Structures are given as structure tokens and as C-alpha cells.
Amino acid sequence: MKNTLNFFILLLSILATFNSQAQDEKLISKVLTKLNLKPKDVNMELIQTKVLPYAKEKTVLVIPKYETNQDDVEFYVYDAYIVIADNQSGQILNKYFEKSKWTSDAIRLDGFTIDTGLYKLSDKVRAFGVRVSYTGSSRVNPYGATDLSLYIPTKNGLKQIADEIKVENYSGEWDGNCNGEFESQEITIDIDNEKTNGFYNLILRNKITDTIATPKGDDCDEKISTSNKTKKLKYNGKSYE
């Protein structure tokens, strides 16, 4: 009986996933049509969607449109379309566009994540974020990073109020075997109790981890140290800085 129940739960989960994917594909198709874009104009694999948890009739879409060099598998430039659309009709309720916003080359653009965290910037304004992840191609100089930009709906569209806050960063240099030095940074964002120009300040808490690796016999010895830094971003009336 238990196995049968587990099977039906798994089946329902699979059907829900397929249904969600089908709904996403329909919505993406509707939105592309309203933007006068064809599937060949955009990187379909990188498009991201997420229903707003505080407005479940709306979905955020991140759409990277090829600007140039779409036939070059090593180098892409993307125009950014970030929109909020009605789930059913695909009507675009808010839109942000920026030409040549993202580049993927030796530092490869891996993908996007829509961040609907608790970015409540005032009593009436809540932002959402778009995280962009990158990875370097060098084995002996590893690199990875994630940038966060924040957006708020306005009467005329979407306003970018924070541009490419680095929330993750990893870099290093080593001999490909053991000997080397590495640094990683992980930044969390808290909302301050104080406001500047009507919006709460953002508190960036940065945990920095430094690693020094050296050969020790047949082993690789690692010395790890950590430190913390805190920084505040304030709203200047147009964006956080």
C-alpha cells in the first residue's frame, strides 16, 4: 500500500512539472510575440520565469536577446528584456530594456535566477532581483561570480535601482596540482532600519574566505582564514550606491 501511494505521489509530481513547463512555454511564446521577437532572436535556453509569490497572477520573465555574433559559439552579446506579464493573457504589465547588458565570452554567462526575496524597500515598494552567474574558462586561474540587480515596478515600466551588486565571487591562481591561493566572497543583503531618500538602506555582509594550498609530502595542505566586512548602500534618488 505504501509503495502504491508513493508511486501516485511521484506520478502527480511528474504531471505537475509537465503542466508547469507547458504553461511556461505558452507564456513565453505570448510574451515574445508581444515584444515582436522570434525564438531565433533570443537564447531560449537561458530564458527564466518565476511567478511573483506576492502577486501570483503575475510572472517575471528574463529574456536575453542576441545583439550580435549569435553564430559565434564563444562570444555573445545580449540585450536585456525583463518583464512582468499577466499569467493568462501574456500581457506585458511592466518592462525593462537595456541594450548590450550582458556579455558571454571567456567569462561565460551561465544563467539567470529570479530572486523574489524580501526586498521591501519602503512600506509600499518591494523589489525583485535578477542574479546573473558567470564562470571563467581557465583551469589554473579559476573564476566564478554572481551579480544581483534589483528592479521595482513603476507606472511606466520597470526601474533598475541597483546594478550588478556582486553577491558571490571566487578567484584563484594555482599550478593545476596543489600549490596556489584562492579567495571566495559570499555576500548576504539585509534591509536596514534607516532610510535614505525614502528607501531603506541595504546592508551588505561579506564573508571572505582565503585559502593557501601547499604540497606536503603526498598530500595537499590547506590553510584557511576567514574575515567579515560590512558595507551600506544608500538610495540616491535614482539608484543604490
Span 17-36, pLDDT tens digits: 434 466 789 999 999 999 99
The pLDDT, as a whole number, for residue 22 is 65
Ramachandran region of residue 12, left (φ > 0), alpha (ψ -120 to 50) or beta? alpha
pLDDT at 218: 86
- How far apart, in Å, do the first and last CA atoms of the chain sit? 59
pLDDT, tens only, 151-200: 999 987 999 999 999 999 999 999 999 999 999 999 999 999 999 999 99
**Cell numbers found for residue 68:** 550580435
Of the listed ranges 101-105, 118-122, 214-218, the one predicted with least confidence: 214-218
Least confident of 6-15, 27-36, 39-48: 6-15
Give the model's pLDDT for residue 68: 73
The pTM score is 0.88
In this prediction, residue 2 carries a pLDDT of 54
Chain segment 116-146, per-residue pLDDT in tens: 999 999 999 999 999 999 999 999 999 999 9
Average pLDDT over residues 57-75: 84
> In terms of pLDDT, which residue wins out, 101 or 70?
101
Q: String of b and e for 46-70 (b: at least 16 CB within 10 Å)?
A: bbbbbbbeeeeebbbbbbbbbbeeb
pLDDT, mean of residues 98-119: 95
How far apart, in Å, are the Cα atoms of 149 and each of 20, 131, 194?
26, 7, 21
pLDDT band at 51; cut points 50, 70, 90: very high
Average pLDDT score over residue span 61-73: 81
Sign of CA dihedral 5, 53, 144, 73: positive
Q: What is the pLDDT of residue 14?
A: 44
pLDDT of residue 13: 46
